[in-house]
Amino acid sequence: MEKIYIKELWSFRELLSALTIREIKVRYKQTLLGAAWAILQPASLTIIFTIVFGIFLKVSSGALPYPIFAYSALLPWTFFSNAVTFGALSVVNNGSLVSKIYFPREVLPISSVGAALFDFAMAAMVFIIMIAFYKVSLTSNIVYLFIIIPSILFLTTGISMILATLNVLFRDIKFVVPLALQIWLYISPVIYSFDQVPEKYKVFIFLNPLTGLIQSFRDASVYGKEPPVLILSYSVILSIIIFLLGYWFFKSKERIFADVL
Amino acid sequence: MKSETAGNKAIFFSNVTKTYYTSKGKYGLLRDTLGQILSPFFSGNRHVRPTVLALKNVSFNIKRGETVGIIGRNGAGKSTILKLISKITYPNSGKIFVDGKIGAFIELGAGLHHELTGRENIYFYGTILGMKKKEIDRKFAEIVDFAEIRKFLDIPIKKYSSGMYSRLGFSVCAFCNPDILLVDEVLAVGDINFQKKCLDKMASFAREKTIVFVSHNLEAIKKICTRVIYLENGRIAKMGNTLKVVNYYIKRSKEVIN
C-alpha cells in the first residue's frame, strides 16, 4: 500500500514543487521586505532572548556568546514552528482545490514544510555569517547535521499531517496550534541548554522528540562536540515513527476531506 | 480492478450509493464525533449523525468516445457523480471504475490563486491538472490566445475581470488534453462569444474523447450529447436517447410545477 502512495506522490512531484514555489511566492508577495522576513523572525527573537535571558536573567550559554547560542537553536525551532503553523492549515486553506480537483492530498502539508525549508535555508545563511563573526571553530561533528536535519524534517512533516487532518475535522485546531507552539518553545532547549535542566526533570525529554534534535543541532554545529548519542538516536527513531503515524492517519482520513470541507 | 472490465469502457458505476454528513450548529463535527464516541455510555439516547442521500443505487456505463449528458433539478446528484468520477469523493457502497486521464472543467477558477499573475497561474493550474512543465511551455501561446489575456499576462489576476478569470481557467483546462472530460455548468460564464468558443472546443473534443457533461442548458445538451442520464432525487429516472430523455425531463418538470 505504501508503495502505491509513494509512486503516486512521485508522479505528482511537479505539483509538489509548484505548490511549494507558490506558497513561497504568495507568502512574500506585497510585503515590503519579502523573503527578508525569513531571516528577521529568528534574528529578532535572538536579539530579544539575548537581552532578556542572556543579559537580564544571565542564563548560561557555556563557552559561547549568548546570541549564537540562541540562534543555533532558534534556527531549527523557527523551521519547525513555521512549517507546523502553515502545515496545520494547509488542507483547510486550500479547501477550494481539495473539493474540486483530485490530487494526492499530502502534497499540501508537504509543500508547507517545503516552503518552511526555503526560509530555513535563508536563515541558515545568517547562521553561517554569525559563525564567521564569532569565530566559532567547526569540527567534524558537523556531519551529524546530516542525520539531525532529515529527522527534524520527518518529525515536522508527521506532525503537520496529523494537525492538518485534525484541523479539517475540528477547526479548533487552528487556535490550539499557536498556543501549543508557544508552550513547546519553552519545553525545548532553545533558551537554555539541556544540561541546565535539573536531573529529576530530565526524564521528560522522552516526551519531546524536539529536545534531542535541537540539543544535538546546537552541539554538533556551534559547540563542535558529539551530540548525546542515546538521546539523539531515540529522537531520530521517534521522529520516523511520528512521520509514519502522521502519514497513515492523513491517508486514512483523506477520503472524507472533500465531504467535510 | 482493471481485469474485470472490458477494453472500451471508460466509466463504470455499479450500484453506487453516496450519502453526505450534514452537521448542524457551530460545533458540527466535533459534537457529532463526541456524540458517537460517548453514546454507548449513555444508553437510550443514541446519537445518530444526520446524513443526506446524494445518490442511491446508481448504475451506468459510459463507453470510450461517448458524450453523455447528465440532467436533473438542483440537488439531484449530478455534481456528485462528477466528483465520484474524479475521485474527489468516494462512495459509501457500490463500485466505480474509471479508465483514463481525467480533466475536469468543474467550477472554473478553483485552481487559480488571485495573488499570482496570469502567467504564474497558467503554470500552476496546468500542473494541478497533471501537465508537465514542458507540456505547458509548448501550449503556452495557445492557452494565452484562447483566453484572450495576452495584454494582462504579468499582472496579478485579482485585477482581472470575472470574465477574464473564467476564460483563463477554461483555457488551461481545454489544453490539458485529458482522455475523459468532465464539464459542470461552465457555459454559464463568459460572454456569448466566449461561450460559443467553449462549445466549439468541446465539440471538437467530442470527436475523440469521452465527455460527461452536466448542464441545465438543454439546447447545449441536445447539440453535443450522444446519450443522456436524467437524475431525480439521487436515482436514475431515465437514461438513453438524448431527445427522448430531454423531452421526458421537460414533461416531468411541468408535472412537478402543476
- On whether the CB atoms of residues B90 and A255 are closer than 8 A, the answer is yes
Q: Helix A209-218 and helix A66-93: axis angle, to 10°?
A: 140
Question: Per-residue pLDDT averaged across A179-185, rounded?
Answer: 95
- Is the pLDDT assigned to residue A234 strictly greater than 60? yes
- On whether the CB atoms of residues B225 and B250 are closer than 8 A, the answer is no
Q: For residue B71, report the phi and psi dihedrals to the nearest 5 degrees.
A: -125, 165
Chain A residues with at least one Cβ partner in B under 8 Å: 14-15, 18-19, 22, 25-26, 29-30, 96-103, 169-170, 172, 255-256, 258-260
Distance from CA of A112 to the nearest CA of B (A): 16
Angle at A261 between CA B11 and CA B91, to 5 degrees: 30
- Is the pLDDT assigned to residue B1 strictly greater than 50? no
pTM: 0.86
Other CB atoms within 10 Å distance of the CB of residue A215: 25
Q: What pLDDT sits at residue B106?
A: 65
Q: Which of A67-81, B70-84, B98-112 has the weakest average pLDDT?
A: B98-112
Going by pLDDT thresholds of 50, 70 and 90, the confidence category of residue A38 is: confident
Question: Per-residue pLDDT averaged across A96-119, rounded?
Answer: 91
Residues of A in contact with B85 (CB under 8 A): none
Rounded percentage of chain B residues whose pLDDT exceeds 90: 36
- Is the pLDDT assigned to residue B24 strictly greater than 70? no
- Is the pLDDT assigned to residue B49 strictly greater than 70? no
Contact B110 A96 (CB under 8 A): yes
**Spans of all domains in chain A:** 2-260
Question: Per-residue pLDDT averaged across A114-130, rounded?
Answer: 95
Q: What pLDDT sits at residue B227?
A: 94
Rounded CA-CA distance B180/B90 in Å is: 18
Q: Which of A28-32, A83-87, B81-85 has the weakest average pLDDT?
A: A28-32
Rounded CA-CA distance B55/B232 in Å is: 9
More confident residue, B163 or A74: A74
Contact A258 B89 (CB under 8 A): yes
- Within 8 A by CB and 6+ apart from A236, the residues are A147, A151, A212, A213
| Most B CBs within 10 Å, among A102, A171, A251, to test the B interface | A102
Chain B residues with at least one Cβ partner in A under 8 Å: 20-21, 29-30, 33, 83, 86-90, 102, 104, 106-107, 110-111, 113, 115-116, 120, 123-124, 127-130, 132-133, 156
User: DSSP assignment, residue A177?
Assistant: H
User: DSSP assignment, residue B204?
Assistant: H
ipTM, two decimals: 0.78
A–B interface: beta-carbon pairs under 8 A: 69
Cell 437510550 identifies what position?
Answer: B44
